[in-house]
Chain A
Amino acid sequence: MLLDVTLSLLEGFGTTVELFALTLLLALPLGLIICFGSMSRFAPLRWIIKTVVWIVRGSPLLLQVLIIFYGPGLMFGLPLLPRFTAALLAFVINYACYFSEIYRGGIQSVSRGQYEAGQVLGMTKSQIFFKVTLLQVIKRIIPPMGNEWITLVKDTALVRVISVYEIIWMGESYIKKGLIWPLFYTMVFYLLFNGLLTVFFGWLEKKLDYFK
């Protein structure tokens, strides 16, 4: 029985981890683009981006998953996206918006003097960004990023609303058979995975501790 449950939970957990990893892979760079848009000197672009971020951050991710999965078909008669793809799309958009704000906070917390020091030394804008600011930004965004990654792991449970079989779905299926312990077992998976993330972020923080 234990082996049976373990295998089935592992299968669900595979989906969870896949969604987690792909969301990060796509949302981290997309967030940076959104961030630059939200700081653009071109006001209309800035307002469009801010409105999108407001809508995405201001409404439940659950709702966004449902709309992206069912919306295109019901509104425009388009074929449904594969379930996992729809879930991934919703997650990427949602998390990219959150990341963009984290990036913005990090970038704006680097003092103006750092840019100016680079400028008077004849550096280009991109040299200043990559050689001077970036690492300082990374150092500053580690704590909020850690939070966000851990939240993402747990948010993956939402995709069950469009029947993507993630780990909780698998655990829950045993309730019908009168078993509660697989649910606790499910929790162990989350705790272990988030434990690993915590260790990783702690290590990263330490790694960048050599400068203030």
Chain B
Amino acid sequence: MAILEVKHIEKNFGDTQVLSDISFSLEQGQALSIIGSSGSGKTTLLRCLNFLERPDGGNISVNGKVIFDAQDPATQSEAQIRKKRLHFGLVFQNFNLFPQYTALQNVTLARELMAKEHGGESKAQILEAGKALLKQMGLEDRAGHYPHQLSGGQQQRVAIARALAMRPDILCFDEPTSALDPELTGEVLRVIRELAVQKTTMIIVTHEMNFARDVSDQVIFMDGGVIVEQGDPQQVINHPREERTRQFLSRREG
């Protein structure tokens, strides 16, 4: 059974339709890349999954359970949304680390607040888990650094650890390397590759075509708010069927 099922998602900003009839599904342990030009709606789609935007139509199911239905207001209360968005983690393009907290505190803050609210883990356990995540990101020696003392690549890795700390079912990346120098891009992509090897379920919005092809099990090409083509990465990126996809890919290489 698919871990995530997205059906007929629609989203309008005023009179402009930015997402139209978006449907796809994702299996546990798979990575899905979403490619397409700026303004194609890929970031909005991710933001809909994380409820930073409310879809105007369609529904979203996780593990076979409908967690959001545009037709059903019961799934849309503030408290419901807050709980359900924890199925998803989101790594932002500009990291959005909390500047007044150290790398480790950034990773543990939300989990500590959650534990305080619902009980469960002790502070020591959360701290250990945070340290382990930073170690996994290759940042064990940066735990006490503040974001402004870290390079962009390091900041983004902290942001990934912070998202993982909430143990999401699906981890989303919104152009995770777009704000980075080419030099720093590699270290972030390496970490994401590692996560793919460990079978982390991921959705990655990216402009890195080679990376998308290597790391993902499925690729979606979006244009003008619709899914133009989706399928096996080799096929979509190397042998696209649709004219629009070919145009997009060839222009990128030129």
Contact = CB atoms under 8 A, between A and B. Distances in A.
The answer to whether A and B belong to the same complex is yes
Interface of A: 111, 113-114, 116-124, 127, 131-132, 135-136, 139, 210-212
A6 to B, nearest CB: 45
Contact of A212 (B88, B92, B99, B109): B99
A141 to B, nearest CB: 15
Nearest to A125: B78
Name the prevailing secondary structure of the A interface residues. helix
Interface string B28-53: 00000000000000000000001110
7 contacts: A114-B96, A116-B52, A116-B96, A120-B89, A121-B162, A131-B109, A139-B100
A15 to B, nearest CB: 39
Given A131-B109, A211-B100, A119 B52 contact: yes
B94 A113 contact: yes
B110 A123 contact: yes
B211 interface: no
Contacts of A122: 82-83, 85-86, 110, 114, 166
Interface string B135-163: 00000000000111000000000000011
B197 interface: no
B106 to A, nearest CB: 9
Given A119-B52, A122-B86, A131-B109, A114 B98 contact: yes
A90 to B, nearest CB: 36
Contacts of A131: 109, 113
B52 A120 contact: yes
A117 B96 contact: yes
Given A127-B113, A210-B146, A120 B90 contact: yes
Interface string B89-121: 110101011111000000001100110000000
B100 A113 contact: no
Contacts of A119: 51-52, 82, 85
A211 B103 CA distance: 12
Contact of A132 (B52, B98, B147): B98
A119 to B, nearest CB: 7
Contact of B99 (A123, A124, A211): A211
Contacts of B113: 123, 127, 131
A14 to B, nearest CB: 38
A124 B85 CA distance: 12
Interface string B63-91: 00000000000000000001101101110
A132 B109 CA distance: 10
Given A210-B146, A211-B148, A113 B96 contact: yes
B96 A121 contact: no
Contacts of B162: 121
A110 to B, nearest CB: 10
A115 to B, nearest CB: 9
A205 B90 CA distance: 33
Contacts of A135: 100
Given A119-B52, A120-B163, A210-B146, 18 more contacts: A113-B94, A116-B52, A116-B96, A117-B96, A121-B109, A121-B110, A121-B162, A121-B163, A122-B82, A122-B85, A122-B110, A123-B113, A127-B113, A135-B100, A136-B100, A139-B100, A211-B146, A212-B146
B88 A120 contact: yes
Contacts of B99: 136, 211-212
A151 B108 CA distance: 42
A116 B92 contact: yes
B107 to A, nearest CB: 10
B17 to A, nearest CB: 23
